[in-house]
């Protein structure tokens, strides 16, 4: 799903509203598993292709995500990074996908 993700915390502490609004990151949200544990990661990828491959080229990551609420967006709670115990909350707002860029014309 193409969306804009707003991170609501830094190092476990709530961010001011102005900073949250200014820090939105757009991309393709994909959830998956780590070490065969379903639904243990949410990642925001730079492109739809990278999200489909889950090839490691992601912008931000949320571990052990849980759904908080859906109303005008999706609230996901979890933890920053793979081995980090800092709480993190994402406000995810679905957005229209950008038009696909056609491949360059042959020369």
Q: Which of 100, 91, 94, 106 minimizes the C-alpha distance to 23?
A: 91
pLDDT of residue 75: 92
Residue 57 or residue 79, greater confidence: 79
- Kindly report whether the global pTM for this prediction surpasses the value 0.75: yes
pLDDT at 45 over 70: yes
3-state secondary structure the chain: CEEEEEECEECCEECCHHHHHHCCEEEEEEEEEECCEEEEEEEEECCHHHHHHCCCCEEEEEEEEEEEEECCCEEEEEEECCCCCCEEEEEEEECCCCCCCCCCCCC
Question: What is the rounded average pLDDT for all residues in the chain?
Answer: 80
């Amino acid at each position: 799903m193409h969306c804009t993700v707003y991170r609501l915390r830094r190092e476990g502490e709530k961010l001011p509203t102005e900073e949250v609004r200014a820090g939105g990151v757009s991309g393709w949200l994909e959830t998956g598993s780590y070490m065969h544990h379903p639904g243990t990661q949410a990642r925001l990828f730079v492109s739809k292709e990278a999200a489909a491959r889950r090839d490691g080229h992601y912008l931000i990551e949320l571990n052990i995500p849980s759904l908080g609420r859906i109303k005008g967006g999706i609230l996901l709670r979890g933890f920053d990074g793979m081995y980090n115990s800092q709480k993190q909350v994402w406000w995810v707002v679905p957005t229209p996908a950008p038009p696909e860029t056609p491949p360059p014309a042959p020369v």
